[in-house]
Chain A
Amino acid sequence: MPVKRALIIGAGIAGMQAALDIANAGYEVVLVERLPSIGGRMHQLSETFPTLDCAQCILTPRMVEVGHHENIRLYTYSEVESVEGEVGDFRVRIRRHPAYVNWDICTGCGICQEKCPKRVLSTDFERGMGKRKAIYTLSPQAVPNKPVIDAENCIYFQRGKCRVCERFCPTGAIDFEQKESFFEERVGAIIVATGYDLLPLEELGEYGAGQIPDVIDGLAFERLLSASGPTAGKIRRPSDGKEPKTVVFVQCAGSRDPEHHMPYCSKICCMYTAKHAMLYKHRVHDGQAIVFYIDIRSAGKGYEEFVQRAITEDRVLYIRGKVARIYQEDGKVIVRGVDTLSGKQVEVAADMVVLAVAMVPRITTRALAEKLGIEVDEHGFLVEADGNLNPVETNRPGIFLAGAGAGPKDIPETVSQASGAAGKVLSLFSQWE
């Protein structure tokens, strides 16, 4: 008898959407997330294009719904270890990393994070723009709102002394002895929603190779824009905390560059760059926003109008051409490029540069695909059974795809694909009456 339960790998907006669709139809969902809490990339965003909705405001209720749903069994800080079996009867082994906190008795009061003496740069969630403690949740809105201890930075784990969190925890939830744990689940279908990463700045030697503090990527700029981010929504450049008065936005940084980097278009950068430039102008009224672009790809409902609004209403300066080189000089970031409309070289002494870096699959996607017996393409993106007519199926029956792990996608497209994958799972379940 096939098992009418679904496994969803990845709890970003794609995984959450698919989980809610299936759970609301009355079936159980096992939702596995690698990070300590759910929400994925969208949780890091400030506002969404083209409506300028506050990302957290529309996302947090869904996160809470996923966290409380009676049909959703949530495994955060966990990864899929192995998958056996076939459609209708997959046996999944899940490995949960030790949080060093007993989540069953932790109330999420946050005192441990307040008292922890060790501050570290948050390279993951805050993209290096802010700090966190060695015991932390990804954000104040984290679901589940339970902290984990980062052993690499914890004073007790490194030097054998401290235990401040343990001393102050009112419920005695800190457990330095905790080990990783394993769980077995049986499911009938799987949705892979592993999401994306950005090409590391270190790869972009021509743009400073990640060594210039005021050259940041788009996600880092989202954190600066975010009202709940490390600067409370104020635009402050990383090197000296000053408000940048000239900001250059570089599109196609590592995308559409078959000679050196990724040959494909990352699809979302034209739109989020317009949004970034617009939101920057909303916050720094006397600032100058300059966008370098190859061409503007704004196909989507209300998208072209949004870009035009950035150009005409918010007076963002769009320069058609590539940036050749970025370097630091005299406290400025020098951007050298070309304006292909006037045929002249352009040099801008900027205060900060935001690179719209190529989207790449999560580095873990390839290994996961191997465990699942599904394919990835030359860049590591998951492969659909057929790009035209089977865009959510894989070549393995019972395993489906959703979101940017299968190629660059924006939020509306990701959510559509996730609901499509959920629909495919539900139609499978309905055949198993």
Chain B
Amino acid sequence: MKISYFPGCTLNTKGKGFDRSVREAMAALGVELVELPDWNCCGASFPLLVDNVLDLVGPARVLINTAARDNKLTTACTTCYNVLKRTNRVLREDENIRERLNYFVEADYQGQVEVSDILQLIRDEVGFEKVKEAVKKPLNGLRVASYYGCMVLRPPREVAYDDPENPHALDDLMAALGAEPVRWGAKAECCGNYLVARKPEVAMEMSYRVLSSASRAGAEVIVANCPLCQFNLDRWQRDLTLTHGGFEPIPVLYFTQLLAIALGLDPGGYELEKHYVDPRPLLESKGLI
């Protein structure tokens, strides 16, 4: 299977390890990701002003470019997914905005592209059963807290492909890889990322809530699907060891890094060494790297 792939800015810079693990894991699962040529920034946030049509031009251009080649587009960055999916919905459902945008960018796009998140693609197009069969190095006994963040869940009617209040796609995937997903309370809580610049102390507290909840549930590692969540949860831990007595750091991985490792791929290019909380000792102790 071949599908258009939108890496997005983060996976092209800070999240290169994420990007590489995505491409290699998907190839191992028989899905060829074809990078969208001449792609541009998704816009990075969905504009909430109803008359803010200009902010939709960026994501609309991505969708229009896709439509010239493919009727499906997938991305691993959950923020890109959120913005592209919601923009596409507006283009499908709002005739007025659709006409104005098409006039502005000189196109005739009707919203026909199907936008998917990479996890959704694995679940619906590959299937967890098939993933299970492809596992070469099962994650036996690794206790994983699956973290979903906001971008694939909220707003539910526009973006959610899982139960928005009790998501389980990532848990199901981890179970298919042979890990033991823990049950925990913060899997769909916000990591605080949006407040990092304006109120860092609040953002840190929100991350602490997620991290400590995972540890209390007995997790050895958190897997994230969102580059912003991953960075935020990973980055705060050094501060938290200084401010929150008894805080024990916990590695935060991208789920595709574990997926690729379980599929028997070489994690050399996944930038494990660049994580703030080094995941390598844990993975070594489990015999996974």
Contacts and interface: CB of A to CB of B under 8 A. Distances in A.
> A and B: real partners?
yes
Interface of A: 204-206, 208-209, 211, 260, 325, 327-330, 334
Interface stretch (B86-94, B163-171, B230-238): B163-171
B163 A205 contact: yes
Contacts of A327: 183-186
A206 B166 contact: yes
A209 B183 contact: no
B183 A211 contact: yes
Contact of A334 (B164, B165, B183, B185): B185
A309 to B, nearest CB: 35
Contact of B166 (A209, A260, A328, A334): A209
B213 interface: yes
18 contacts: A205-B166, A206-B165, A206-B166, A209-B165, A209-B166, A260-B165, A325-B185, A327-B183, A327-B184, A327-B185, A327-B186, A328-B183, A329-B184, A329-B185, A329-B213, A329-B217, A330-B216, A334-B185
Of A206, A208, A327, A334, most B-chain CB atoms within 10 Å: A327
Nearest to A326: B185
Given A327-B186, A329-B185, 14 more contacts: A204-B165, A205-B163, A205-B165, A206-B166, A208-B166, A209-B163, A209-B165, A209-B166, A325-B165, A327-B184, A327-B185, A328-B185, A329-B216, A329-B217
Interface string B20-45: 00000000000000000000000000
A205 B164 contact: yes
Interface in B153-178: 163-166
Nearest to B166: A205
A356 to B, nearest CB: 18
A254 to B, nearest CB: 12
A325 B213 CA distance: 14
Interface of B: 163-166, 183-186, 213, 216-217
B240 to A, nearest CB: 19
A285 to B, nearest CB: 30
Contacts of B216: 329-330
A237 B213 CA distance: 24
B195 to A, nearest CB: 16
A325 B186 CA distance: 10
A205 B165 CA distance: 5
B162 to A, nearest CB: 10
Nearest to B167: A205
Nearest to A325: B185
A30 to B, nearest CB: 44
A119 to B, nearest CB: 27
A294 to B, nearest CB: 18
B71 to A, nearest CB: 31
Nearest to A207: B165
Nearest to B216: A329
Contacts of B163: 205, 209
A196 to B, nearest CB: 24
B161 to A, nearest CB: 14
Nearest to A206: B165
A257 to B, nearest CB: 12
Nearest to B155: A259
Nearest to A208: B166
Contacts of A334: 185
Contacts of B186: 327
Contacts of B184: 327, 329
B152 to A, nearest CB: 14
Nearest to B183: A328
Contacts of B165: 204-206, 209, 260, 325
Nearest to B186: A327
A334 B213 CA distance: 11
A327 B165 CA distance: 11
Nearest to A333: B185
A327 B210 CA distance: 13
A168 to B, nearest CB: 44
B39 to A, nearest CB: 34
A229 B217 CA distance: 34
Nearest to B189: A325
A361 to B, nearest CB: 24
A334 B183 CA distance: 13
A205 B166 CA distance: 5
Contacts of B164: 205
A260 B153 CA distance: 14
B258 to A, nearest CB: 23
Contacts of A260: 165
A330 B216 CA distance: 7
B41 to A, nearest CB: 32
A253 B185 CA distance: 18
Contacts of A206: 165-166
A211 B163 CA distance: 14
List 6 tightest A-B contacts by C-beta distance, closest first: A327-B185, A205-B165, A205-B166, A206-B165, A209-B166, A205-B163
A211 B184 CA distance: 12
A208 B217 CA distance: 15
B143 to A, nearest CB: 15
A327 B216 CA distance: 13
A262 to B, nearest CB: 15
A327 B184 CA distance: 7
B183 to A, nearest CB: 6
Contacts of A330: 216
Contacts of A328: 183, 185
A329 B145 CA distance: 13
Contacts of A208: 166
A82 to B, nearest CB: 39
A77 to B, nearest CB: 36
Contacts of B213: 329
A391 to B, nearest CB: 35
